[in-house]
Amino acid sequence: MKTLDHRFTSPWRRSAAAAVAGALPVLAFPAPSLWWFAYVALVPWILLARAAPTGRRAACDGWWGGFGFMLAMHHWLLPNLHVFTFVIAALLGALWAPWGWLVRRLLGGVPSRGRVLAALVVLPSGWLAVELVRSWEGLGGPWGVLGASQWQVEAALRLASVGGVWLLSFLVVALNVAVAVLVAVRRARVPAVAGLVAVRRARVPAVAGLVAAAAATGAAWVWSPRPDTGDRVGIAVVQPGVVSGRDSPDRRFDLEERLTRELVGRDVALVVWGESSVGFDLGDRPDLARRLAALSRETGAGILVNVDARGSDRPGIHKSSVLVGPDGPTGDRYDKMRLVPFGEYVPARSLLGWATSVGEAAGEDRRRGSRQVVMDTADGLRIGPMVCFETAFPDMSRHLAEDGADVLLAQSSTSTFQQSWAPGQHASLAALRAAETGRPMVHATLTGVSAVYGPGGERVGPWLGTDTGAARVYEVPLAHGTTPYVRFGDWPLYGAPLALAAWAVTEALRLRRSARGSRVPPARTAHGSPARPGR
């Protein structure tokens, strides 16, 4: 496309354009929540990379686009990590460099029908490979996975029950590729009739890709099993709001205690407090344990608190979900396993410890738990707790569902980022985890946003926003049965590397055949001498 070539001749101007194009998908996530925009948000980035003059430049476009995507997705970290946010975005953005090269390889010029068909599978697979790598906990985890932008679309949630959020990412990228092809070939200038035929042929697989995505969604809607809902259970969320100051742990506990007493007589089976709701180890503060036990007796419900403290019976600081009953702590404890990089520990602290001097990185590493836990309440309800960042990992909620959890629970605190887009985006993840597992999920926070979702990912009751301090009871529908995602796991992630490998082998064979064809010896006469070209 000549317009792109003329407009972005300057490398720096082109890099800036790629960064802006890469940042566009963030508008599909909360707070803007323009979910429909995700279907075309990658198109400018794809068009830019396909028009790159060289493969190396296309890889740079992929890198700069990835930088823009990561920076926009984590922009709320800037007040805390400062310049280190740009370093993280640049390092993670490099993962998209091969993807940019693939875009040019498959869609550059006027792509053939075969190249467009390959692009509809290879480019989404390449994107999934990037999401798989960056989803490692040490690289930041699966925050901002593209498919997560579809958390409020009922048809997409049904697809999530089949292939998880990864299947949604695959289809969203495939839709963007198809739209980009239709835009590119429409604007292509080809002088010859054969060129016009090639343009028309390129449109056919692009349209077929759009139809296939619609068909897959329709098939999931019709054939995917729906959760078998039955009884409802009352679960209360206690959100105290922002409490600051040197004595904030004590004052927060007092406020949570007062809000919990408002639940007396409300027929609740469980009360959930947010992350770090108790700032003292209950073994060191038996007075707090007695107060929690009294609350459990008054409300007639178990209370799930979250202890963020150094314990006398074990080294280091843990973040632990602790279930308290009428007689005190029941002995059920879950220690957070996946910690927030820089927020709760500094990866390779000997090398990156300087981050504590330029931002609010963790001064001391938290300790990790070793296993997930399903807890049994006195009413026979089986609950699967997770803590904050862990709700971004689909495998954790899937394992809890496999282990028999009736309800998934998340205890979170995003008070550091209270005025940003982070609280709403974090709460939206619970809808996906519920849809993937066919289990309801309660997302309880200290300062908002708290939310509850049914076993199909549908919202149950209103959100508790960041401006609210309250105790609210939700009638949560329980469900039975197993979703395809729980049964078969992350199969789209397994298929993506296979698709990339198959394409690589096919390309290698094609190049080998082309090389052999270019080395065909000249024709010889009947006497065996090389034939001379005629005059």
Tokens 């843990």 belong to: 318
Total domain count, the chain:
2
What are φ and ψ of residue 434, in 5° steps?
Answer: -65, -45
pLDDT digits (tens, 9 = 90+) for 489-511: 999 999 999 999 999 999 888 88
389: CB partners within 8 A, 6+ apart: 141, 143, 338, 339, 340, 343
Residue type, 154: E
Q: What are phi and psi of 386, to 5 degrees?
A: -135, 160
Q: Confidence class of residue 518 from pLDDT cuts 50, 70 and 90? A: low
pLDDT at 247 over 70: yes
Q: Are residues 385 and 266 in the same domain?
A: yes
Average pLDDT of the segment spanning 349-378: 77
Distance CA 382, CA 270 (A): 11
Structure token pair of residue 430: 């619970």
pLDDT at 195: 44
Section 114-131 average pLDDT = 95
- Residue 273 pLDDT more than 60? yes
Establish if 359 belongs to a structural domain: no
The reported pLDDT for the residue numbered 2 is: 44
Phi-psi group of 140: left, alpha or beta (phi > 0 → left; psi -120 to 50 → alpha; rest → beta): left
Query: Per the domain annotation, does 412 fall within a domain?
Result: yes
CATH code (residue 259) = 3.60.110.10
Nearest to 120, CA basis, from 52, 182, 51, 189: 182
pLDDT tens digit sequence for 297-345 = 999 999 999 999 887 777 888 899 999 999 999 989 999 999 887 777 7
Token pair of 136, please? 């490692």
The answer to whether residue 342 is domain-embedded is no
Same domain, 288 and 139: no
Write down the residue that tokens 């467009």 correspond to.
116
Residues 68 and 171 in one domain: yes
Residues 6+ apart with CB under 8 A from 287: none
Residue 466: its pLDDT value, please? Answer: 92
Clarify whether residues 168 and 190 are in a common domain: yes
Q: How many CB atoms lie within 10 A of CB 317?
A: 18
Whole-number pLDDT of residue 535 = 37
**Domain match, 247 and 201 both:** no
* Domain span including residue 69: 2-225+489-513
- Least confident range of 32-41, 192-201, 313-322, 495-504: 192-201
pLDDT category, 270, cuts 50, 70, 90?
very high
Query: Are 106 and 131 members of one domain?
Result: yes
Query: What one-letter code names the amino acid at 310?
Result: R
pLDDT digits (tens, 9 = 90+) for 62-116: 999 999 999 999 998 888 778 888 988 999 999 999 999 999 999 998 888 889 9
pTM: 0.89
Q: Say whether both 33 and 135 belong to one domain.
A: yes
Cα–Cα distance for residue pair 395/308, rounded to 1 Å: 24
- Name which of 376, 390, 268, 293 is nearest 332 in CA terms: 376
User: Average pLDDT, stretch 284-309?
Assistant: 94
Q: Which residue did the predictor score with more confidence, 222 or 104?
A: 104
Judged against a pLDDT cut of 50, whether residue 428 lies above it is answered with: yes
Residues 153 and 302 in one domain: no
**Confidence category of residue 37, pLDDT binned at 50, 70, 90:** very high
Of 128, 126, 124, 119, the C-alpha closest to 50 is 119
Tell how strand 317-325 and strand 375-376 pair up.
Answer: unpaired
